[in-house]
A and B are shown apart, each in its own frame.
Chain A
């Protein structure tokens, strides 16, 4: 048996990668190209007419107040949900590490929610957060008119932030638990001998040692919150009330798929892609710097 981990020949690796490549071409590159093309045209839905308008679609979106409102909503949503998911995951991971025997059980239990699709969770939480029949609706029997996510943008936003953070926590948790376990036990033991309690060790040793992983999960969450939060928004608020949760990804769907505004939503998609590319570039640069520092 050969132990070489290389494929022979020029074509074998290519052929093995082909199915995945084809999927990416079909579901990413091709739609991206098409969207790029449409973003420079005024496009009729049924495709029989198409007028080149240059920057027209972009200029219109960049002049439109609802674009900036949506951008701000996206920023608020991303910042809040990323902070919440990373903080909660870090807290859970830290606590699981404290008690080795029960830790094993909780490690498994806390990963399970990862298997629940965003749209399913959205439907469940929407019922739970219903102002009339949900758990939160109970608050209205105590203080009438307190819980009104259909009118209050702040409440609706907190609802979707909670839901989206929920979908992210299990992944963050897995990564952070693994990171915490990779910290040499000597450090922790030394600190303990010096009299540092669990909280002090957590703040002064564990958190600084897993900073790269924290940064990694935050970045993944951030990109996910921009591109992958659609299901939660669609099932829970449809961007409402009054556009308070109308993040860019949802606005693109609304304009393009409900409104059949193919040109405008294509231009928005291109802008969103630029945004995601920028975030990814920041992540890349930071990791490079980190790697160089470690080397």
Chain B
């Protein structure tokens, strides 16, 4: 019995050994990214470009599913000692990644490998979103997006709305006009907190949490429930009740971006990164404007959402110079613009922004132009996103309570108080979890 199995075992062993050299080739490394569709195609193209330009290096670019799945897999892989060299982690994972003790800070990596890394070249709002208290960037911003208003020019004109809404008051009137004109879906939304809380509060410069939205440390607690967010959510609830702001599930497309792109809904507040889908569908004559604000308030610069690239410790030392070359390659204006013009994600550096401005308007997506302009307005302490723990869970709690409010189970005020209280329990626990952690060791 054993004898008969022996050749098989020998064959499998030799097969494993045959594959080994390819895996351990010094300058080959893995990059895990979190996109699909046209976004993934573009990333693959960037990877192929790098491999061609740097024959001594080899990056394997592997899609890992959604942002949540990629973070989860990164955690599991790191615990198993099989982490990739570079991983794309979404914005809300920043608070965990920076304290993980698992990373090789990007600015240190660039310095160690002799690359010039001028962080001031990043657009101000992007740098502030990711910077540590001392101004260092531990990760390299990658896909950045901000909210803009997409409108169906023809439908708005037919309803007599000649100007894109600049304020929520205008937006409200436009919704009413569209409804009166017989429009079934004046606007569509997926009712997610990134769009309805984080971005809205940023552009109004209103706090979400104390300690500069968590940028100043673990002691931050949520404080949004009685501010501008309550006012906005009351409007949202009214629009929902009057059938002016349809939940995406009530549309044929079952997705807010698609419901706008296929011409079903007249307006949508969506990320600049959604531009790729709207443009590719090519059905709607789209006009893009900046995110509305309340008429009697100051408009601050928009903040971003999206992801940054983190470098894991624990690779063969000879790999890191190649990783640094890859990151430097992705930061070249040319590659940024390739990604931006295809997808609607924003250019990240001033150099890339300048290069974009000199491109003919037909190739530079409107969404990017509008998004960049809205990010350049002056900021305050609270328009640089949040840096808080358990944000993924917090977002689910927000959705749960808001669904209850929209379903008539509780009032919007009570719902928001619950979100804040439950969110603060998460922050307390996050603080307790990391307070005891030993100081980070950031050597590779």
Contact status of A132 and B252, CB under 8 A, knowing A49-B434, A259-B392, A260-B392: yes
- B contact residues around A42 at 8 Å (CB): 429, 432-433, 436
Instruction: Determine if B112 is an interface residue (Cβ-Cβ < 8 Å).
Output: no
Q: Mark B391-417, 1 if CB is under 8 A from A, else 0.
A: 011001001110110111100000000
Quick one: which of B79, B101, B403, B438 has the most chain A CB within 10 A? B403
**CB distance A133 to B254 under 8 Å?**
yes
Expressed in whole angstroms, the Cα–Cα distance for A258 and B102 within the complex equals 19
Quick one: which of B75, B251, B407 has the most chain A CB within 10 A? B407
Instruction: Determine if B170 is an interface residue (Cβ-Cβ < 8 Å).
Output: no
**CB distance A46 to B433 under 8 Å?**
no
Contact status of A241 and B403, CB under 8 A, knowing A257-B72, A261-B393: yes
- Using a CB–CB distance below 8 Å, which chain B residues touch chain A? 68, 71-72, 75, 78-79, 96, 99-102, 247, 249-252, 254, 390, 392-393, 396, 399-401, 403-404, 406-409, 422, 425-426, 429, 432-434, 436-438
- A contact residues around B254 at 8 Å (CB): 130, 132-133
Minimum distance in angstroms from B272 CB to a CB of chain A = 25
Expressed in whole angstroms, the Cα–Cα distance for A130 and B255 within the complex equals 12
Expressed in whole angstroms, the Cα–Cα distance for A254 and B247 within the complex equals 23
**CB distance B403 to A242 under 8 Å?**
yes
- A contact residues around B425 at 8 Å (CB): 60, 64
Q: Give the contacting residue for A258; candidates B78, B249, B393; CB below 8 A.
A: B393
Q: Mark A235-251, 1 if CB is under 8 A from B, else 0.
A: 00001111100100000
- A contact residues around B392 at 8 Å (CB): 258-260
**CB distance B78 to A47 under 8 Å?**
yes
- B contact residues around A51 at 8 Å (CB): 432-433, 436
Give chain A interface residues in 202-242, CB to chain B under 8 Å: 239-242
Chain A interface helix/strand/loop/mixed: loop
Minimum distance in angstroms from A126 CB to a CB of chain B = 10
Minimum distance in angstroms from A144 CB to a CB of chain B = 10
Contact status of A131 and B249, CB under 8 A, knowing A44-B437, A259-B390, A259-B396: yes
**CB distance B404 to A242 under 8 Å?**
yes
**CB distance A260 to B75 under 8 Å?**
yes
- A contact residues around B403 at 8 Å (CB): 150-151, 240-242
Q: Mark A108-141, 1 if CB is under 8 A from B, else 0.
A: 0000000000000000000000111100000000
Expressed in whole angstroms, the Cα–Cα distance for A133 and B96 within the complex equals 40
Chain A residue at minimum C-beta to C-beta distance from B103: A46
Contact status of A132 and B68, CB under 8 A, knowing A46-B96, A48-B102, A254-B396: no
Chain B interface helix/strand/loop/mixed: helix
**Could you list 24 examples of A-B contacts with CB < 8 Å?**
A42-B429, A42-B436, A44-B434, A46-B75, A46-B78, A46-B101, A47-B79, A49-B433, A51-B436, A60-B425, A132-B252, A133-B252, A150-B250, A153-B407, A240-B399, A242-B400, A242-B403, A254-B396, A257-B68, A258-B392, A260-B96, A261-B426, A261-B429, A263-B433
**CB distance B75 to A49 under 8 Å?**
no
Minimum distance in angstroms from A117 CB to a CB of chain B = 19
Minimum distance in angstroms from A66 CB to a CB of chain B = 7
Chain B residue at minimum C-beta to C-beta distance from A256: B72
- B contact residues around A259 at 8 Å (CB): 390, 392-393, 396
Expressed in whole angstroms, the Cα–Cα distance for A109 and B96 within the complex equals 51
**CB distance B249 to A130 under 8 Å?**
yes
Minimum distance in angstroms from A19 CB to a CB of chain B = 14
Q: Number of A residues contacting the other chain (C-beta, 8 Å)?
A: 36
Expressed in whole angstroms, the Cα–Cα distance for A255 and B158 within the complex equals 47
Expressed in whole angstroms, the Cα–Cα distance for A66 and B434 within the complex equals 24
Q: Give the contacting residue for A242; candidates B79, B252, B401, B434; CB below 8 A.
A: B401
9 further A-B contacts with Cβ under 8 Å, apart from A48-B101, A260-B75, are: A42-B432, A48-B437, A49-B437, A51-B433, A60-B429, A240-B399, A246-B400, A258-B68, A259-B390
Minimum distance in angstroms from A155 CB to a CB of chain B = 10
Instruction: Determine if A152 is an interface residue (Cβ-Cβ < 8 Å).
Output: yes
Expressed in whole angstroms, the Cα–Cα distance for A131 and B407 within the complex equals 15
Chain B residue at minimum C-beta to C-beta distance from A47: B79
Q: Give the contacting residue for B396; candidates A43, A130, A132, A258; CB below 8 A.
A: A258
Expressed in whole angstroms, the Cα–Cα distance for A62 and B21 within the complex equals 53
Expressed in whole angstroms, the Cα–Cα distance for A130 and B249 within the complex equals 7
Give chain A interface residues in 1-43, CB to chain B under 8 Å: 42-43
**CB distance A240 to B400 under 8 Å?**
yes
Instruction: Determine if A45 is an interface residue (Cβ-Cβ < 8 Å).
Output: yes
Minimum distance in angstroms from B139 CB to a CB of chain A = 15
- A contact residues around B247 at 8 Å (CB): 150
Expressed in whole angstroms, the Cα–Cα distance for A233 and B407 within the complex equals 19
Q: Mark A255-275, 1 if CB is under 8 A from B, else 0.
A: 101111101100000000000
Chain A residue at minimum C-beta to C-beta distance from B240: A151
Minimum distance in angstroms from A130 CB to a CB of chain B = 7
Chain B residue at minimum C-beta to C-beta distance from A42: B433
**CB distance A260 to B99 under 8 Å?**
no
- A contact residues around B72 at 8 Å (CB): 257-258, 260
Expressed in whole angstroms, the Cα–Cα distance for A45 and B393 within the complex equals 14
Contact status of A242 and B433, CB under 8 A, knowing A45-B75, A259-B396, A261-B393: no
- A contact residues around B252 at 8 Å (CB): 132-133
Minimum distance in angstroms from B70 CB to a CB of chain A = 12
- B contact residues around A153 at 8 Å (CB): 407, 409
**CB distance A45 to B96 under 8 Å?**
yes
**CB distance B100 to A152 under 8 Å?**
no
Quick one: which of A44, A150, A257 has the most chain B CB within 10 A? A44
- B contact residues around A64 at 8 Å (CB): 425
- A contact residues around B75 at 8 Å (CB): 45-46, 260
Expressed in whole angstroms, the Cα–Cα distance for A241 and B407 within the complex equals 8
**CB distance B79 to A46 under 8 Å?**
yes
**CB distance A151 to B436 under 8 Å?**
no
Closest 7 CB pairs of A and B: A259-B393, A242-B404, A49-B437, A48-B101, A46-B100, A242-B403, A151-B407
Q: Give the contacting residue for B433; candidates A43, A60, A152, A240; CB below 8 A.
A: A43
Q: Give the contacting residue for A151; candidates B71, B99, B400, B406; CB below 8 A.
A: B406
Minimum distance in angstroms from A142 CB to a CB of chain B = 16
Chain B residue at minimum C-beta to C-beta distance from A263: B433
Contact status of A44 and B100, CB under 8 A, knowing A258-B393, A260-B71: yes
- B contact residues around A241 at 8 Å (CB): 403-404, 407
Chain A residue at minimum C-beta to C-beta distance from B440: A48
Expressed in whole angstroms, the Cα–Cα distance for A239 and B396 within the complex equals 10
